[in-house]
Structure 1
Amino acid sequence: MNRWFAPCRDLLSPRPSRQPSKLMLPGLCLLFLSLISLYPCLCGGQTAGRDRLIVGVTADPPYLIKEKDGEWGGLNTSLWKAVAQELKIDYELREMTFDELVEALKENRIDLSIDTFYVTAERQKRFDYSFPFGNSRLAVATLPERLTHPWWSAIKIFLSWGTFKIVLALGLCLCVLGLIFWIIERRTNPDYFGGGIIKGIGSGIYWVGSTLASGVCFGVALKSLPARILGLTWMFICAIALSALIASLTSSLSASRDRTEVVPADDLRRMHLGGIVDSAESVALKNIGGKTTFFKSEQEALQALMKRRIDGFLYDEITLIYYRDNDYKDRISVYPTDTKRFFFAFALPKNSPIKSKVDYAILDYIERPEWPLVLQRYGLEENFEERMPHSYRRRHR
C-alpha cells in the first residue's frame, strides 16, 4: 500500500528537489481522480445523493386532491405528470402540511412543490417559482343568507331609514305647499279651495300631490297669478326631483344586483372575515382592514363559518367554488371580490438546477390542445382566460 501513496508523500514533502520526481505524474492523476469523486459533495447539488426527485404535496382541492385509495389527482397533478413524462423524471410524492412545504423548500429538503403558490414578491425572497400556469382571485364564502337575493336587497332599500326620511320630508313639503295654495286661492277659487280650513288645505295637498305624481291635476285650474307662478315652479321642481329619485333607486338596485357578482372592499370591511395564517390571502385581509380571525386550515375556517363565528371566509376563488360544489354543497355561497388577480405556479428552492427545464415543459404543455381539456375536467376554463404577458413567455423560452 505504501507504494501507492508514495507519490502523494513526494508531492507534499517539504524537502526541496532540484529535478522533478518520476512519480509526480501518477500522483497528479490520483489527486485528480479524488477531486472528481468528491465533486458532488463539494457542489452540494440539490439532487445530489438522490435517485429521484422529492416532490412535496398537500391536500388543496381542486389543485391537489387525495383520493380514497391514497393516489393524488387534481389539476396540478395532471400538469406535473405531463411535465415529468416529457422530462423523463423519476419522482416521489411526499405529503406535508403547507407550512412544512414552505420550510422544506427553504431548507432544500425537497426538489419541488406542486401545490398552488401565489406569485408574490415576499415569497420570491424565500424560494423560486416555476412558469405561472394559471390565475385566480380572492373570493368570500358566506352562509347563503349573508349576501341575499337582489330583490330582497331592493325591499330592504325601500324599507330603510333613508327612504323613510325622504317620505317624511316629502309629506312635510306637501302639507306646507297645500297650506300656501289654500291661502292664495281661497278667495279667487272658492269652488275648489273653499269650504273651511280643513277642506281647503286638503284640496291644496291633493293638488300638490297630483302634480307631483303625474305633472298635472285634472279638473282643477289655479286662477290667481301668484298661485300659477308657484304652481309652475313646483312642476319644474317635481320633474327634477322625480328624475333624481328614479336615478338614485336605479343605482341602488343595480348595486344590489352587482353585489351577487362582485363584493366591494367596503362591504368586506364591515364583515368579520376569516383567513389562513401566513397565506397570501392574509396580506389582503390586513389591507382590507376590519375584524379578522386567522385559522390554520381551510376546513377549520369553513367550520367556523358554519358555526357563525365569522361572517365570511376570504380565500382563493377556485378552491372555495370547489368546496361549494362538493363538500359544502347548498351550505355556503361564494362571491368574488374586486381585489386584483394572482398568478400561481409551482415552487422550487432557490437556484434549483431543474427550474429552466420545468419552466419550458410547463409552457410547452399549456400551449397544447390537451390543456383546455384538463381545465374543463375541473371546471376551471373560465378562471384561466388571463395569461402572463408575452414578454414573460419570451424570457422563459
Structure 2
Amino acid sequence: MKKPFCFVFLFSFFSLAFTQDSIQPLRVGYTRAAPFIIQEGEILEGINIWLWQRVAEDLNLQYELVPMQFSGMLDSLKAGKIDVSINPLTITSARSKEMEFTHSFYASHSTIVVAKQSSFQKIKQFVTSFFQVNFLRGFLVLFIILLFFGILAWMFERRKNPEHFRPGFKGLWDGLWWSVVTLTTVGYGDKAPKTRMGKIAALGLMFSGLLFVSGLTASIASSLTVNQLNSEAADFGDFKERRVGTIRSSESDDFLHAHFFKDIKTYSSVVPGLKELQANKLDAFIYDAPILRYRIKKDSSLQKLEVLPLKFDVQFYAFGIKKDAVELEQAISQRILEIMETQQWSVILAEFGLSEL
C-alpha cells in the first residue's frame, strides 16, 4: 500500500514542478513615449508604467520588460513575439484585426508643432502686409479723394482767400495740404476755407473721407490678421503641401497618408523629428498632443517650438495584447476599469500634467 502512495506523491510533485517551470513570464514591449513611458537611464516611470505595474501586481502576472522601437514593437506584437505592448496604442480597426486591445484608459487627439517666428520674421511680415494689392489700391483711392477735395477747395478759395490758397501750382499744394490735415483731424488751423462753397467742400471731405478711412482701416486690420493666420495655418489641411514629420507606423502616420499629405518624413521617436523642425528641415511635426506638449515643456532645447491650438484625429489609448489572448485581455481590461474609477488615477494623470477628457 505504501508503494502506490509514494508513486502518486512523487508523480504529483514532479508534475507540479514541471507546470511551474513551464509557465513563461509575459514579454512586455515598450518604447519611450513621455509622459506615458519615461526612461531616464535604468529608471522607468510614467503613466503607463504605473498602470501596468498596478495591473500586473493585482493579477499576479510575471513579466519581463523589453525595450523596442515603435514600429518593431507593433510588428512583434502582431507576430506574437511579445505578449503585451504597454505603450499608449491608438485603437484602430486595422490594428484590431491583428491584435487585441484592452479597455481604453485615455482619450487624446493629434496636433501640430511649428517653429516660432523670430522678431525679424514678425516685423517683415507686418511690413509686407502694407504692400498687398488691396492695401495699395485703397491707398490710391484715398489719395485721389484728398487730391479731389483739395483742388475743389483751392478753386473756391483762391480768389477770396489767397493768403491760405495761393494761385498757381503752390495753391494746388495748399489745397492738398489742407485736405490731408482736415481728414486726419490734426487741425493746424494754418489753412481754412472762408467761402460758402469752400466750407461745403470741407464738409464733403470730412464725411466721405471719414467713411472711407474707416473701411480702409478695417481692410488693413483684416489683411494683417489673414496674413498671420496664413503664416501659422488655421487648419491641419493647410499643411498638406508642406514638409511634415511624424512617427513611423503610428496612427498619425496613417492619418496623414489617408488625408493625402504629400511630403511626409517619418521618425522612430519624437525628439529627432522636433530637432529637425527646429533646424528648419521640416515645416511642421504632427503627432499625439500630450506627448508633444510634454516633450517640449520638459526639454529646454526645444523652446523655440510651439504647439498650435489645433485638435483633430481623436484617439483612444489602450494596451495591445497578442491576437487570441482573449482571457488575458479581459482580465487586464477589467482591472484597468477598476483602477480608472479610483481617485488615485486622477492624481497620477495630474502629476504628469494631464487630465481626463
**TMscore range, shorter length:** 0.7 to 0.9
Tell me if structure 2 keeps the 8 A contact 1:55–1:110.
Answer: yes
CA distance 1:216–1:343, shift in 2 (3 Å): farther
Match in the other structure for 2:265: 293
Match in the other structure for 1:312: 284
1:133 has 2:105 as partner: yes
Secondary structure of 1:89 counterpart: coil
Q: Give the deviation of 1:78 after TM superposition.
A: 0.8
Tell me if structure 2 keeps the 8 A contact 1:57–1:114.
Answer: yes
Where does structure 1 lack aligned partners over 5 or more consecutive residues?
1-48, 387-397
CA distance 1:266–1:200, shift in 2 (3 Å): farther
1:274 and 1:377 map into 2 onto residues whose CA distance is 29
Tell me if structure 1 keeps the 8 A contact 2:150–2:177.
Answer: no
1:60 has 2:33 as partner: yes
1:348 to 305, 318, 321: 321
Tell me if structure 2 keeps the 8 A contact 1:185–1:227.
Answer: no
Q: Give the letter for the 1:241 counterpart.
A: F
Q: Give the letter for the 2:336 counterpart.
A: I
2:346 and 2:145 map into 1 onto residues whose CA distance is 64
Q: Give the deviation of 1:329 after TM superposition.
A: 3.1
**Deviation per CA, 1:40-84, whole angstroms, max 9, x where unpaired?**
xxxxxxxxx644332221122221122312x42111111111222
2:194 and 2:332 map into 1 onto residues whose CA distance is 86
Deviates more, 1:59-68 or 1:183-192: 183-192
Q: Give the letter for the 1:109 counterpart.
A: K
Tell me if structure 2 keeps the 8 A contact 1:273–1:313.
Answer: yes
Match in the other structure for 1:220: 192
Tell me if structure 1 keeps the 8 A contact 2:100–2:322.
Answer: yes
CA distance 1:216–1:274, shift in 2 (3 Å): same
Secondary structure of 2:301 counterpart: coil
Q: Give the letter for the 2:252 counterpart.
A: E
1:62 and 1:259 map into 2 onto residues whose CA distance is 32
CA distance 1:211–1:350, shift in 2 (3 Å): farther
Greater C-alpha Rg: 1
Secondary structure of 1:214 counterpart: coil
Question: 1:164-243 counterparts in 2 under 5 A?
Answer: 165=136, 168-169=139-140, 172-174=143-145, 176-178=147-149, 180-182=151-153, 184-187=155-158, 189-191=160-162, 194-214=165-185, 220-221=192-193, 223-225=195-197, 228=200, 231-243=202-214
Give the number of the structure whose residues are more often strand, by fraction: 2
2:97 and 2:179 map into 1 onto residues whose CA distance is 71
Tell me if structure 1 keeps the 8 A contact 2:245–2:273.
Answer: yes
Match in the other structure for 2:244: 273
Q: Give the deviation of 1:174 after TM superposition.
A: 4.8
Q: Give the deviation of 1:296 after TM superposition.
A: 3.7
Matched residues, number: 331
2:236 and 2:168 map into 1 onto residues whose CA distance is 55
**Percent of paired sites with the same residue:** 23
Deviates more, 1:184-193 or 1:75-84: 184-193
Secondary structure of 1:338 counterpart: coil
**Deviation per CA, 1:291-325, whole angstroms, max 9, x where unpaired?**
43333433432343354322332222222233323
Match in the other structure for 1:359: 333
CA distance 1:92–1:330, shift in 2 (3 Å): closer
Tell me if structure 2 keeps the 8 A contact 1:56–1:113.
Answer: yes
Tell me if structure 2 keeps the 8 A contact 1:262–1:338.
Answer: no
Secondary structure of 1:138 counterpart: strand
Tell me if structure 1 keeps the 8 A contact 2:154–2:165.
Answer: no
Match in the other structure for 2:122: 153
Give the superposed CA RMSD.
Answer: 3.7
TM-score, with structure 1 as normaliser: 0.69
Where does structure 2 lack aligned partners over 5 or more consecutive residues?
1-21
1:113 has 2:82 as partner: no
Tell me if structure 1 keeps the 8 A contact 2:26–2:64.
Answer: yes
Higher RCO (CA 8 Å, separation ≥ 6 residues): 2
